[in-house]
Amino acid sequence: MASAVETESADGEPRIETESGGTLAARIAHRIEETVIRRGWPVGETLGSEVGLRERFGVSRSVLREAVRLVEHHQVARMRRGPNGGLFVCAPDAGPATRAIVIYLEYVGTSVADLLEARLLLEPIAAGLAADRITEEGIETLRAILAEEFAGRDDPESSSEDPLHLMLGALSGNAVLRLFIDVLTRLTARYTHTSRKLSRAEVAESKAVRHEEHSAVADAVIAGDGARAQTALAAHLESVAAWIEKYRVPRASRITGAVVEPEAVEGPGAKLAEVLAGRIHEDITERGWQVGMVLGSETDLLTRYGVSRAVLREAVRLLEYHSVARMRRGPGGGLIVAAPEPQASVDTMALYLEYQGVSAADLHTVRNAIELGIVARVTERLTEGDPVAAERLGRAVRRPSEEPSEDPDKGDLFHTELAALAGNPVLSLFLSILTELFRRHAAGHEQPMPDAQAHAHILDAILRGDAGIARHRMRRHLDTLTPGWR
């Protein structure tokens, strides 16, 4: 039993924090979510009344209510009041997962080069899959998107970038690719919106070029020619990268700007607290995300945002959940800027993908693309000479046999280290999400021990600068990893 300390939550009620850092409420929320997954995500069914749930988990009303808020935030279930009330399973959309990931990636400082690298690894695969499984309906949709793009070519206000990419993600039939492409496309759009104002002629020219490239991709998909679709999409993304170079937007500049999109949460049924959390988050970003900075006391914030105390407190809970900010009590206290952690977005993404019914094959496809990209990047880096990095990888290969009692949840340290050395936070985060899903589905089975020999062989090829062999060995190694999937 983990020892627990009591701290004070945003509403002044005691909140139990366990050693692992999560609150008791967060653990209860996790158990509720596991139940929903185990039952096959039965939308509309009840998980029990508030009283029933309190008894089942043996927790106080305030702890259960905080757990319910988290589950509601994940769109896993919603509490209905009244005589026939209870906690009902609901159907999530990609919103919360996307927001969580964007919060984290923005905080760690993702550059447009990182985004384009990830897009080049994933989107051509989606285009290839879309070509393989295209239907008449899919053809109609692609044509409609292109027609709309063509119609809007003279309108500088119309954005013609996103729909085709999002549609190819959807047409790939791979839930993981679809979600990742969604995130990447949104992030890239945010970046291009912050670049300098272009002249009418520049806008018109770039729109014409993009439309031509999009048409080439769509033609190949419609023709069922997967190889050509992949090549055309890769060429298009290279051209987007070149466009960014041409307009001298530094490729290494960080994405900035509002991260929690107000339109994403201000729709019908949107909660005021989520809108407010979005505004506060925006303010934190605008001030350069200074961890430890005091944004103001509760009274200051009530005046600044003109909301009720209840709404502010719920918004603070959401910000605390994403580690965007924390409320500190007492003199010198107030809402304090925090450092986001990847775990919140990993959990939310993994949950959403569970709901989408992701398959082992879907995961395998995406994991291959990401890990092979990472291997290529690291090989390139080590060829330029980086003894510290080489030493780090060597340690990661040896570690499992030397320290067998290492936390099994950490999984394959070698892969995590490779991802870290590739230096692309998008790829590292995506890989954690995939690993988390593999881990969840292997639950109850023996977790395979990291294969130190396979890792050593991969590292050998990397150190020799032979990217071809290194990638081949990684591909073979990943084939052995699909666990007893259930």
Count of H-run helices and E-run strands, the chain: 21, 7
- Please count the other Cβ atoms lying within 10 Å of the Cβ belonging to residue 214: 24
73's CB contacts (< 8 A; 6+ apart) are 96, 318, 321
Nearer residue to Zn ion within complex by CB, 209 or 293 = 209
Residue span binding Zn ion (CB under 5 A) among the ranges 32-40, 106-114, 353-361, 410-418: 410-418
Distance, CA of 102 to CA of 41 (rounded, Å): 26
Distance of closest approach, residue 103 Cβ to Zn ion, in angstroms: 25
Nearer residue to Zn ion within complex by CB, 320 or 412 = 412
Residue span binding Zn ion (CB under 5 A) among the ranges 61-69, 118-126, 146-154, 412-420: 412-420
Distance, CA of 167 to CA of 145 (rounded, Å): 9
Distance of closest approach, residue 472 Cβ to Zn ion, in angstroms: 15
Nearer residue to Zn ion within complex by CB, 325 or 420 = 420
Nearer residue to Zn ion within complex by CB, 106 or 412 = 412
Per-residue tokens: 78 = 């919603």
Distance of closest approach, residue 310 Cβ to Zn ion, in angstroms: 44
| Torsion sign over Cα 141, 142, 143, 149 | positive
Distance of closest approach, residue 206 Cβ to Zn ion, in angstroms: 11
Distance of closest approach, residue 189 Cβ to Zn ion, in angstroms: 10
How far the first Cα of the chain sits from its last, in Å, is 29
Residue span binding Zn ion (CB under 5 A) among the ranges 9-17, 277-285, 321-329, 411-419: 411-419
Residue 359 DSSP symbol = -
Nearer residue to Zn ion within complex by CB, 49 or 195 = 195
Residue 120 burial (CB < 10 Å; 0-12/13-18/19+)? middle
Q: Which residue is nearest to Zn ion (CB)?
A: 412
Phi/psi for 424 (5° steps) reads: -115, 105
Per-residue tokens: 15 = 């909140």
Distance of CA 431 to the CA centre of its chain: 10
Whether 304 contacts 296, CB under 8 Å? yes
Cite the DSSP H helix spans in 294-443: 298-305, 309-321, 342-355, 360-383, 387-402, 413-422, 425-442
Distance of closest approach, residue 110 Cβ to Zn ion, in angstroms: 19
The count of chain residues that interact with Zn ion, using the rule CB under 5 A, is 1
Distance, CA of 431 to CA of 429 (rounded, Å): 5
Nearer residue to Zn ion within complex by CB, 189 or 336 = 189
Nearer residue to Zn ion within complex by CB, 112 or 265 = 112
Nearer residue to Zn ion within complex by CB, 412 or 436 = 412
Whether 287 contacts 293, CB under 8 Å? yes
CA distance to 41, 70, 92, 199, 439, per residue, from 74 (Å): 13, 6, 7, 42, 20
Query: Beta 77-80 vs 325-328: how paired, if at all?
Result: unpaired
Distance of closest approach, residue 214 Cβ to Zn ion, in angstroms: 6
Per-residue tokens: 285 = 């970003």
Residue span binding Zn ion (CB under 5 A) among the ranges 24-32, 74-82, 368-376, 408-416: 408-416
Nearer residue to Zn ion within complex by CB, 362 or 412 = 412
Distance of closest approach, residue 142 Cβ to Zn ion, in angstroms: 13
Q: Is 106 in the site for Zn ion (CB under 5 A)?
A: no
Query: Restricting to residues 192-221, which ones interact with Zn ion according to CB under 5 A?
Result: none
Distance of closest approach, residue 351 Cβ to Zn ion, in angstroms: 25
Query: Restricting to residues 255-294, which ones interact with Zn ion according to CB under 5 A?
Result: none
Nearer residue to Zn ion within complex by CB, 232 or 346 = 232
Nearer residue to Zn ion within complex by CB, 18 or 239 = 239
Based on C-alpha coordinates, what's the Rg of the chain?
24
Per-residue tokens: 31 = 């158990």
What is the H or E stretch that residue 162 is in? helix 162-171
Distance of closest approach, residue 46 Cβ to Zn ion, in angstroms: 42
Four-point Cα dihedral 95, 98, 100, 103, nearest 10: -120
Nearer residue to Zn ion within complex by CB, 15 or 415 = 415
Residue 285 DSSP symbol = H
x/- binding map, residues 435-454, to Zn ion, per CB under 5 A? Answer: --------------------
Distance of closest approach, residue 455 Cβ to Zn ion, in angstroms: 6
Q: Is 412 in the site for Zn ion (CB under 5 A)?
A: yes
Residue from 391, 406, 413, 408 nearest 447 by CA? 408
Q: Is 417 in the site for Zn ion (CB under 5 A)?
A: no
Residue span binding Zn ion (CB under 5 A) among the ranges 297-305, 338-346, 355-363, 407-415: 407-415
Q: By the criterion CB under 5 A, which residues form the site for Zn ion?
A: 412
